[in-house]
Amino acid sequence: MTAKELLRALKMVRVPVSEDRLWFKSLLLDPGHGGRDPGAVGPTGLKEADVALSVCLWTELLVRESAPKVKLSLTHRGSGMTPSARRQAIRDAGADVMVSVHCNCADSRRAKGGEIYTTVGETVSDPVAANIAKRVQKQFPDLKWRAGPGGEPDREAGFYVLRTQEGLARAGVLLETMFISNPAEEKLLSQPIVQFRFACAVASGLLCEQPATS
**pLDDT tens, 3-48?**
566 666 666 565 554 677 788 999 999 999 999 999 999 999 999 9
- Domain 23-206, what architecture? 3-Layer(aba) Sandwich (3.40)
Reported pTM: 0.92
Q: What are the structural domain ranges in the chain?
A: 23-206
Whole-number pLDDT of residue 14 = 55
The separation between CA 59 and the C-alpha centre of its own chain, rounded to angstroms, equals 9
Mean pLDDT rounded to a whole number for the chain: 91
pLDDT in tens, 167-213: 998 999 999 999 999 999 999 999 999 999 999 999 999 987 566 44
Distance CA 201, CA 214 (A): 18
